Structure 1
Amino acid sequence: MIPIVMFLAGAFFSSPVALSETIADETVQNPETLAEYVREYYADTPILADIAWCESSMRHFNKEGEILRGVADSDDLGVMQINRRYHEKDAVELGFDIYSLNGNLAYAKHLYEKQGTRPWKASSPCWGKIAKG
């Protein structure tokens, strides 16, 4: 499992932070930064990595070490800005912890498989440009 300390350090420093050699998700192989981890996690759905960049600048925690919350809506959580008001109950029932990095990423993938990019429509002016780029 990736130590939370490494991600907290990544939230404070702009330079790459080395991650643990053992990663719970076998599809991700030794990323150097959280952004790299997210891109590798979403290698088969790169639009989700673009969305993560636009939603959170690839951050899961704020400078205080707390889960990143949305500016427009403080119920939006983490790297994928999953809204707890709309999604927490379903996420829990499906076994996803949207407060954890992997749970946030996995639930976002689940949402994408069910609804496409609709849950992130508000940020589409940003990720739409990146995806076409």
Structure 2
Amino acid sequence: MGLKLNNRLIFQITTLGLIMLASNITGFGGASFIPSVTSEVVEIKEVPPSEDKKVSIERTITVEEYIGNYFSDIPVMIEIAKCESRFRQHDGNGEVLHGEANPLDRGVMQINEFYHNENSSKLGYDILTLEGNTAYARVLFEKYGVKPWKSSSKCWGRTIAYSEYKDLAIN
């Protein structure tokens, strides 16, 4: 003798019904040791939006948070940004950050203006903005890997992120 239930009936059985069904199938009938369970009903009300109650929430994020979000799929680039600029796009005077060793290295990813300004502009990236600097850094990474930032590899070359990148690059 088999028990046949359709899917609709199964979904309509409450928690209490399941316990009672289980106790009847296993032969315990109305055994008193089965706890009484009531089903929970949750009512969801949809409240229409009100024009006079619109709230705009703005939150600024740090350059470090931006880099973490933007390069979440390439953790080694987060380490490179940390080493190259200490997550700074601008210096203390509000000017776009210049490199310490080479003043033509600019911004959070220290993209060299002499070598990359023309190509980045052709692609529509302004490397003097945070968005353009990181977007062009991604282009460079996709084409060359970490080679454009080799000069700072003593800083990021021993990180877990680089080890994982290196393992992926080899395989």
Deviations 1:79-123 (A, max 9, x none): 000000000000000111000000000000000000000000000
C-alpha deviation, 1:31, in angstroms: 6.7
C-alpha deviation, 1:32, in angstroms: 3.7
Unaligned 5+ residue runs, structure 1? 1-19, 22-29
Structure having greater relative contact order (Cα 8 Å, sep ≥ 6):
1
Matched, 1:118 2:157: no
Provide the C-alpha distance between the structure 2 equivalents of 1:64 and 1:129, rounded to a whole number of angstroms.
32
Matched, 1:69 2:89: no
Instruction: Assess if the C-alpha contact under 8 Å between 1:79 and 1:104 holds in 2.
Output: yes
RMSD of the alignment, in Å?
A: 1.7
Instruction: Assess if the C-alpha contact under 8 Å between 1:39 and 1:49 holds in 2.
Output: yes
* SS across alignment from 2:128: coil
Task: Give the letter aligned to residue 78 of structure 1.
Answer: G
User: Judging changes above 3 Å, is the alpha-carbon distance between structure 1 residues 31 and 117 closer, same or farther for their aligned structure 2 residues?
Assistant: farther
Unaligned 5+ residue runs, structure 2? 1-56, 165-171
Aligned match of 1:86 in 115, 131, 134?
115
Provide the C-alpha distance between the structure 1 equivalents of 2:130 and 2:62, rounded to a whole number of angstroms.
13
TM-score (norm 1): 0.75
Matched, 1:52 2:81: yes
Instruction: Assess if the C-alpha contact under 8 Å between 1:31 and 1:37 holds in 2.
Output: no
C-alpha deviation, 1:33, in angstroms: 2.0
Which structure is larger by alpha-carbon Rg, 1 or 2? 2
Deviations 1:12-52 (A, max 9, x none): xxxxxxxx83xxxxxxxx67422111111101111111100
Aligned match of 1:36 in 46, 65, 81?
65
Number of equivalences: 106
Provide the C-alpha distance between the structure 2 equivalents of 1:37 and 1:112, rounded to a whole number of angstroms.
18
Provide the C-alpha distance between the structure 2 equivalents of 1:72 and 1:85, rounded to a whole number of angstroms.
14
Give the aligned partner of residue 3 of structure 1: none
Aligned match of 2:156 in 87, 103, 127?
127
